[in-house]
Amino acid sequence: MLDVIIALVPALLVSVTFFGWNALRLTLACVITCLAAEALSRKAMGRNLGIDDLSAVITGMLLAFNLPPTLPTWMAVVGSVFAIVICKQLFGGIGYNPFNPALAGRVMLLISFPVFMTRWSEWTIPSPIGMDAVTSATPLGLVKTAVTSTGALPFTFDGATMLQLLVGNQNGCIGEVSAAALLLGGIYLLIRRCITWHIPVAYLATVAIFSGILWIHHPQQNLPPHFHLLSGGLMLGAIFMATDMVTSPVTKRGMLVFGGGCGILTVLIRKWGGYPEGVSFAILLMNAITPLINRATRPRVFGAPKGGKKQA
Amino acid sequence: MGFIKAKYNAPGGVHPAYHKDLAAEQPIVEMPLPASLVVSMSQHLGKPATPTVKKGDSVLRGQVIGESAGFISAAVHAPTSGTVKLVAPVATAAGPQATAITIEPDGEDTWVEGISPCPNWQALGKKEIVEKIAAAGITGMGGAGFPTHVKVSPPPETEIDTLILNGAECEPYLTADYRLMVEKAAEIWQGALIIAKALDAKTIYVAIEDNKPQAIAAMQEALPAEAGDAQVVELKTEYPQGAEKQQIFAVTGREVPAGGLPLNVGIVVENVGTTLAVWDAVVNGRPLTERVTTVTGGPVAKPGNVLARLGTTTADMVEFCGGTSGAVAKIISGGPMMGFAQADMSGPTTKTTSGLLLLGPESVHAYESMPCISCGRCVGVCPMNLMPNELSQFLEAEDYETAEEYNVMDCIECGCCAFECPAHRPLVQHMRRGKTQVMINRRNQ
């Protein structure tokens, strides 16, 4: 678990660089609330305290990373309590929650406080997507608004824009902006064997292929696949959220199916959904069918007849 | 010539630290007779042998002191000449009690009369070979201890085309089979030819992991002309390559059907130590009274490969290896993956004691079992493609019926799942308990 925290540090550093105090404020609020909620609810349920597995710290960090920089602290606290108490401990604690607690917390906040959850900080960034001065929406948000109202993309894509997205100089939730920092953390997780490549690669590849088909079909109205990959919460989701062991399949084939499903749903929501971003919903929906995926991808027992009789 | 690399690899597997360097380069040394030998009647899979001597009797080396008690059973012989001091139950390495005969050696080591060497074994018929193996009380010496005479006399309608000698020795620390292959390659090949004749097997393979190049070279060099197209097969080093079903797949690509036996796919697998014992029994006429055991681990002063009489206690073996230097936190009979932890060093060696492993406090950790976090590592490493995560939860809930439905009986108890589990769940222990309970439930139906 400590490894996951270490892997999140680059993204945290980028976040503090770009969002300053707000990034620290939200991260601390979520981590402290998650730890307290975990300890108190375990105590109330008569279980041993068990916060030393650090899983509550990870939930707190991931929830904070999924919040916009100007969100009031008390909302972050509410989201954290919801994530830990309702989504994790009431299901039995670590290992028993069907949904990723941090994502469930974020989606609860998004539905309950839609204005605050989509109010992006008004901070000046040096032309991340071809516009100067003040930015008031995420790149994906701009695209959604523009495509819905005018039927065309609001800007063009060049190498410089891509570099800004990669570094993280874009608007968005505090932990999702820097694809590079998140990838660095992902590589660390792979090396430390905390995750396997199956889910992130299947997820990202599916997004790239699906959005690529749309883009080739109609480049005026659809984002190019590299923009999809580098914007919004995709990297954070694919590397840190979809790979949550508890809520993702246990078989390798299942992980590929899971990642692929997340990818398709993400593009579907980004393209046709009401929200500009679909990573959270995509992963939560796939969490819901994880037990079915496990069942469907059960390996053939060594020595059992091929193709024929399936296990149980 | 005579060498191929395995074309297949069974599912799963893990790579534990091997620690074989502790004893690998120590040649086999014969241990002098200890002050007493405790000979268990349960040295094999199946019914314990029936004692045929009583307290006060004098016995000679090779004399039957325990009769085979059924079809799946094996005779036990006196490991040396001397006097029976005690006939009483002693705990076996795995735990349950079995009658054991304590012998005080007279130091003469006199063989019983009637030991008849047969250098010209080629003249023997299949039936005679099987009889000699049965009379010698040979059992599988790799670990499970299945009576060898049963294995080499398959039902007449079964056709066996292939014999595989198991020299994988995939358990960490153990080097006894390795030393046998390096030092006794020619004799092992003769044993293989004898078994192949009993089985009418046309092809012989010797399966060895690629971390034992010296053994591979020795077996290849000693390959006799009569062995025809026999091959030394190099396996990728990975635990459990020595597991029978996994090895058969690696060598031949054949899958033993779930719940079936190797003979269902025309194959018999014999450990190299067992094969050497067969050679000794048939060619020299000597029953099984000794074996090579690796005595190793951090606290052992001089780790080595010891040829000792069956019934030598762990304490005597360790004493012979220079005693201990440093604290002993765990005593294991066998290897660290599938061996049995022992309460003390009083237990005797048997035909299946491939190793005695002492671990210091730095190598022994106590863990608290945490809830499963569904990481799926156990699923990835299970060589039987089971899902130990689910099974352990069914078994924790004592739901044996569901566990059976989800194939708990196919578990080979290799321990890869527990080795890999980041939540330190005692997965293989759940499986063992579950399998036992399912067997009990079946019997009671």
**pLDDT tens-digit profile of B283-295?**
999 999 999 999 9
* In a shared domain, residues A110 and A183: no
- Cβ–Cβ below 8 Å for B258 and A249: no
pLDDT-based confidence at residue A134 (cuts at 50, 70, 90): very low
User: Which segments within B9-116 are labelled E, that is strand?
Assistant: 28-30, 37-40, 50-51, 58-59, 64-67, 76-77, 82-91, 97-105
The residue-averaged pLDDT of A17-22 equals 86
Nearest Cβ partner for B10 among A249, A250, A302: A302
Tell me the C-alpha distance between B380 and B375, whole Å: 10
Tell me the C-alpha distance between B192 and B272, whole Å: 9
- Cβ–Cβ below 8 Å for A301 and B410: yes
- Cβ–Cβ below 8 Å for B375 and A250: yes
pLDDT of residue A49: 62
The C-alpha angle with vertex A141 and arms to A139 and A146, in degrees rounded to 5, equals: 95
Classify burial at A175, counting beta carbons within 10 Å of its beta carbon; exposed 0-12, middle 13-18, buried 19 or more.
Answer: buried
The residue-averaged pLDDT of B48-58 equals 93
- Cβ–Cβ below 8 Å for B371 and A96: yes
Scan for tokens 């000979």, then name that residue: B39
Please give the backbone phi and psi of residue A296, each rounded to the nearest 5 degrees, phi first.
-75, -25
The residue-averaged pLDDT of A95-124 equals 87
Q: Domain extents for chain B?
A: 1-32+119-365, 377-444
What is residue A298's DSSP assignment?
P
Alpha-carbon distance B310 to nearest alpha carbon in chain A (angstroms):
36
User: Considering only CB atoms, which chain B residues are within 8 Å of A38?
Assistant: none
Tell me the C-alpha distance between B76 and A294, whole Å: 50
Nearest Cβ partner for B256 among A94, A303, A305: A303
Mean residue pLDDT across chain B? 94
pLDDT at B411 over 50: yes
At residue A305, the 3 state secondary structure works out as coil
Instruction: Tell me the pairing of strands B37-40 and B203-209.
Output: unpaired
Cα dihedral value A266, A271, A273, A278, nearest 10: 30
- Give the domain-ending residue among A58, A84, A117: A117
Tell me the C-alpha distance between B408 and B387, whole Å: 9
Alpha-carbon distance B18 to nearest alpha carbon in chain A (angstroms):
21
pLDDT at B170 over 70: yes
- Cβ–Cβ below 8 Å for A245 and B376: yes
Alpha-carbon distance B166 to nearest alpha carbon in chain A (angstroms):
20
The residue-averaged pLDDT of A209-237 equals 90
* In a shared domain, residues A166 and A73: no
Alpha-carbon distance B407 to nearest alpha carbon in chain A (angstroms):
8
Establish if A49 belongs to a structural domain.
Answer: yes
pLDDT at A133 over 60: no
pLDDT of residue B227: 87
Task: Inform me whether the C-beta atom of residue B371 falls under 8 Å from chain A C-beta atoms.
Answer: yes
pLDDT of residue A307: 65
Number of domains in chain A: 2
State the residue range of the domain holding A45: 2-117
* In a shared domain, residues A192 and A98: no
Mean residue pLDDT across chain A? 87
Per the model's pLDDT, the better-predicted residue between A150 and B136 turns out to be: B136
- Greatest mean pLDDT among A158-167, B92-101, B350-359: B350-359
- Cβ–Cβ below 8 Å for A255 and B379: no
- Cβ–Cβ below 8 Å for B384 and A301: yes
User: Considering only CB atoms, which chain A residues are within 8 Å of B249?
Assistant: 302
H-run or E-run covering B390: helix B388-396
Q: For residue range A44-66, what is the model confidence (pLDDT) as tens digits?
A: 988 876 677 889 999 999 999 99
Alpha-carbon distance A94 to nearest alpha carbon in chain B (angstroms):
7
Strand partners, B425: none
User: Considering only CB atoms, which chain B residues are within 8 Å of A47?
Assistant: none
Tell me the C-alpha distance between B13 and A98, whole Å: 29
The predicted complex's ipTM stands at 0.84
Task: Inform me whether the C-beta atom of residue B423 falls under 8 Å from chain A C-beta atoms.
Answer: yes
Tell me the C-alpha distance between B349 and B292, whole Å: 10
pLDDT at A310 over 70: no
| Residues of chain A above pLDDT 70, percent | 91
What is residue B227's DSSP assignment?
G
- Cβ–Cβ below 8 Å for B11 and A246: no
Task: Inform me whether the C-beta atom of residue A187 falls under 8 Å from chain B C-beta atoms.
Answer: no
DSSP H helical ranges for chain A: 2-19, 21-44, 55-65, 73-81, 101-112, 114-117, 139-150, 159-167, 179-191, 198-217, 225-230, 234-236, 252-272, 279-288, 290-296
pLDDT of residue A139: 77
pLDDT of residue A152: 74
At residue B260, the 3 state secondary structure works out as coil
* In a shared domain, residues A160 and A278: yes
Q: Give the contacts of A21 (CB within 8 A, at least 6 positions apart).
A: none
- Cβ–Cβ below 8 Å for A302 and B375: no
Nearest Cβ partner for B407 among A53, A251, A301: A301
Task: Inform me whether the C-beta atom of residue B427 falls under 8 Å from chain A C-beta atoms.
Answer: no
- Cβ–Cβ below 8 Å for A250 and B387: yes
H-run or E-run covering B131: helix B126-135
pLDDT at A128 over 60: no
- Cβ–Cβ below 8 Å for A250 and B385: no
Alpha-carbon distance A182 to nearest alpha carbon in chain B (angstroms):
21
Task: Inform me whether the C-beta atom of residue B384 falls under 8 Å from chain A C-beta atoms.
Answer: yes
Q: How many CB atoms neighbour CB B441 within 10 A?
A: 12
Cis check: omega of the bond before B119, within 30 degrees of 0 = no
- Cβ–Cβ below 8 Å for A303 and B384: yes
- Closest chain B CA to residue A309: B258
Nearest-Å Rg of the Cα atoms of chain A is: 20
- The token pair that represents A72 in the structure block: 């009031």
The residue-averaged pLDDT of B63-84 equals 93
Per the model's pLDDT, the better-predicted residue between B71 and A293 turns out to be: A293
- Cβ–Cβ below 8 Å for A304 and B405: no
Tell me the C-alpha distance between A220 and A156, whole Å: 10
* In a shared domain, residues A43 and A104: yes
Q: How many CB atoms neighbour CB B197 within 10 A?
A: 18
Q: For residue range B193-233, what is the model confidence (pLDDT) as tens digits?
A: 999 999 999 999 999 999 999 999 999 999 998 888 899 99
The residues in A 95-114 lying below 8 A from B, measured between CB atoms, are 95-96
For residue B68, give Cα distances in angstroms to A202, B73, B78, B126, B291: 59, 5, 14, 21, 20
Phi-psi region of A278 (alpha: psi -120 to 50; beta: other; left: phi over 0): alpha
pLDDT at A309 over 60: no
The residue-averaged pLDDT of A198-207 equals 97
The CATH number fitting domain B1-32+119-365, selected from 3.30.750.24, 3.30.360.10, 3.20.20.10, 3.40.50.11540: 3.40.50.11540
Tell me the C-alpha distance between A18 and B214, whole Å: 61
Q: How many CB atoms neighbour CB B226 within 10 A?
A: 11
Alpha-carbon distance B423 to nearest alpha carbon in chain A (angstroms):
10
Tell me the C-alpha distance between B164 and B8, whole Å: 15
For residue B370, give Cα distances in angstroms to A209, A292, B377: 40, 24, 15
pLDDT at A127 over 60: no
Establish if A310 belongs to a structural domain.
Answer: no
* In a shared domain, residues A109 and A152: no
Task: Inform me whether the C-beta atom of residue B389 falls under 8 Å from chain A C-beta atoms.
Answer: yes
pLDDT of residue A156: 67
- Cβ–Cβ below 8 Å for B372 and A252: no
Q: For residue range B300-348, what is the model confidence (pLDDT) as tens digits?
A: 999 999 999 999 999 999 999 999 998 999 999 999 999 999 999 999 9
For residue A160, give Cα distances in angstroms to A14, A176, A204: 18, 19, 22
Per the model's pLDDT, the better-predicted residue between A1 and B414 turns out to be: B414
